[in-house]
């Protein structure tokens, strides 16, 4: 029996689909959002995955906030890695600054510096890890509004 190149007995939702890129400077923020939009569009068009409009907006928001912080507070470039597993997209951003950010207490009167607070609020999981050089921040979001996540996935790990 002849198997085609694209045949795979494992369904896409069980496989890892990913994309990554390096960004520099303020122009990197818009480029990172564009990469996230393109990645989600490919998930829909090429892989037939359901991506809700709210998930698309939230993924772009999280990418924008994490990349903005990395480019603002760390010297050098940042690396963005997007991957899909089991109906969730994981947004990971690496930068060269080893100091982990701290979400400030909610203050409706404060102008600015709400990014991390927003990211934690909209994600199903959030993790920060120091790396041998710098740090990696990873947030996960469901792709479909009615999706059910894994048990324990609502935990925030710092």
pLDDT tens track for 114-132: 678 889 889 999 999 999 9
Q: Which of 57, 35, 59, 32 is nearest to 123 (CA)?
A: 59
Distance CA 106, CA 101 (A): 15
Orientation angle between helical segments 115-122 and 53-73, nearest 10 degrees: 150
Q: Which of 70-74, 90-94, 99-103, 143-147 has the lowest mean pLDDT?
A: 143-147
Q: Which single residue is written with the structure tokens 């951003």?
A: 93
What global pTM score does this model have? 0.80
* pLDDT tier at 146, thresholds 50, 70, 90: low
Q: How many residues are given for the chain?
A: 158
* pLDDT tier at 138, thresholds 50, 70, 90: very high
Among residues of the chain, what percentage have pLDDT more than 70?
79
Give me the pLDDT at residue 152, please.
39
**Measured in whole angstroms, how far is the alpha carbon of residue 158 from the centre of its chain?**
16
Give me the pLDDT at residue 115, please.
79
What's the whole-number average pLDDT of the chain? Answer: 83
- Sequence-ordered alpha helix ranges (H) in 6-123: 27-47, 53-73, 115-122
């Amino acid at each position: 029996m002849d198997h085609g190149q694209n045949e795979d007995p494992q369904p896409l939702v069980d496989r890892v689909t990913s994309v990554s890129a390096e960004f520099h400077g303020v122009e990197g923020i818009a480029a990172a959002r564009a990469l996230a939009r393109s990645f989600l569009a490919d998930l829909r068009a090429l892989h037939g995955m359901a991506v809700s409009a709210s998930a698309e907006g939230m993924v772009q928001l999280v990418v924008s906030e994490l990349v903005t912080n990395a480019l603002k507070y760390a010297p050098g470039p940042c690396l963005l890695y997007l991957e899909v597993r089991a109906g969730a997209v994981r947004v990971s951003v690496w930068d060269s600054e080893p100091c982990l950010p701290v979400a400030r207490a909610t203050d409706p009167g404060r102008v600015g510096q709400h990014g991390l607070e927003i990211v934690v609020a909209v994600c199903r999981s959030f993790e920060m890890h120091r790396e041998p050089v710098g740090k990696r921040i990873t947030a996960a979001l469901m792709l479909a509004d009615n999706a059910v996540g894994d048990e324990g996935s609502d935990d925030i790990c710092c």
